Amino acid sequence: MPANTTAPSGSSAAKKTSRKKGRRARLFVIVLVLALVAGVGYGAYWSVSTVRASYPQTTGSIELKGLSGDVDVKRDDYGIPQIYADTDSDLFRAQGFVQAQDRFWEMDVRRHMTSGRLSEMFGAGQVETDSFLRTLGWRKVAQEEYDKVLDEDTKKNLQAYAEGVNAYLDGKDGADISVEYAALGLTNDYKPTEWTPVDSVAWLKAMAWDLRGNMQDEIDRSLMTSRLSDEQIEDLYPDYPYEKNTPIVERGGVSPATGKYDPEAEPSGGIGSETVEGATEGLNTQLSALSDTLDEIPALLGPNGNGIGSNSWVVSGEHTTTGNALLANDPHLAPQLPSLWYQMGLHCRQLSESCRYDTAGYTFSGMPGVIIGHNQDIAWGFTNLGADVTDLFLEKVSADGYQYDGKTQPFVTREETIKVAGGRSRKITVRETNHGPLVSDRNGELEKVGKKAPVGNTAPDRGDGYGVSLKWTALEAGKSMDAVFELNRAKDFTSFRKAAEHFEVPSQNLVYADTEGHIGYQAPGKIPVRLKGDGTMPSPGWSADYGWEEEYIPFDELPYEYDPDRGYIVTANQAVIGDEYEHMLTKDWGYGARSQRINDLLKKKIDGGEKISTDDMQTMQMDNQSAIAAKLVPELKKIGISDKDVREAQKLLEGWDYTQEPDSAAAAYFNGVWRNILKLAFGNKLPKEMRAKGDCIYVKPVAGSGPVDEQDKLVRECGQRAPDAAQPDGGDRWYEVVENILDDRDNEWWKVPAQGREEAIDSRDELFARAMEDARWELTAELGKDMSTWSWGRLHQLTLRNQTLGTEGPDLLQRALNRGPWDLGGGEAAVNASGWNAAGGYEVIWVPSMRMVVNVEDWDKSRWINLTGASGHAFSAHYTDQTDKWVEGELLDWSFEENAVEQSTVDTLTLKKP
Overall average pLDDT of the 162-166 stretch: 98
- pLDDT, residue 15, reads 39
- Among 390-404, 455-469, 632-646, 711-725, top mean pLDDT goes to 632-646
Strand duo 341-348 + 81-85: pairing? parallel
- pLDDT, residue 809, reads 46
Which tens digits make up the pLDDT trace of 768-802?
999 999 999 999 999 999 999 999 999 999 999 88
Q: What is the DSSP string of 714-753?
A: -EEEEB-B-GGG-S---SHHHHHHHHHHTT-TT-GGG-B-
Overall average pLDDT of the 706-731 stretch: 79
Contact 735, 848 (CB under 8 A): no
The secondary structure element, H or E, covering residue 360 is strand 358-364
- pLDDT, residue 182, reads 81
Q: How far apart are CA 440 and CA 289, in angstroms?
A: 9
Q: How far is CA 402 from CA 397, 455, 461, in A?
A: 4, 17, 12
CA-closest candidate to residue 486, choices 501, 476, 474, 473: 501
Residue 827 φ then ψ, to 5°: 165, -170
Instruction: Tell me: pLDDT of 9 over 50.
Output: no
Instruction: Tell me: pLDDT of 481 over 60.
Output: yes
Overall average pLDDT of the 436-462 stretch: 52
Overall average pLDDT of the 276-305 stretch: 51
Q: In one letter, which amino acid is 140?
A: K
Q: Report the chain's mean pLDDT, rounded to a whole number.
A: 87
Q: How far apart are CA 134 and CA 137, in angstroms?
A: 5
Least confident of 258-267, 430-439, 450-459: 450-459
Overall average pLDDT of the 160-184 stretch: 91
Crossing angle of the two packed helices 480-489 and 152-169, in degrees rounded to 10 = 90
Q: In one letter, which amino acid is 380?
A: W
Overall average pLDDT of the 455-460 stretch: 44
Three-class secondary structure of residue 912 per DSSP = strand
Greater model confidence, 24 or 471:
471
Other Cβ atoms less than 10 A from the Cβ of 14: the count is 8
Reply yes or no: is the peptide bond before residue 338 cis, omega within 30 of 0: yes
Q: How far apart are CA 855 and CA 613, in angstroms?
A: 9
Instruction: Tell me: pLDDT of 454 over 50.
Output: no
Which tens digits make up the pLDDT trace of 560-612?
999 999 999 999 999 999 999 999 999 999 999 999 999 999 999 999 999 99
Q: How far apart are CA 564 and CA 519, in angstroms?
A: 8
Q: How far apart are CA 213 and CA 511, in angstroms?
A: 20
Overall average pLDDT of the 438-460 stretch: 49
For the entire predicted model, the pTM comes to 0.91
Instruction: Tell me: pLDDT of 22 over 80.
Output: no
Which tens digits make up the pLDDT trace of 357-410?
999 999 999 999 999 999 999 999 999 999 999 998 989 888 899 999 999 999
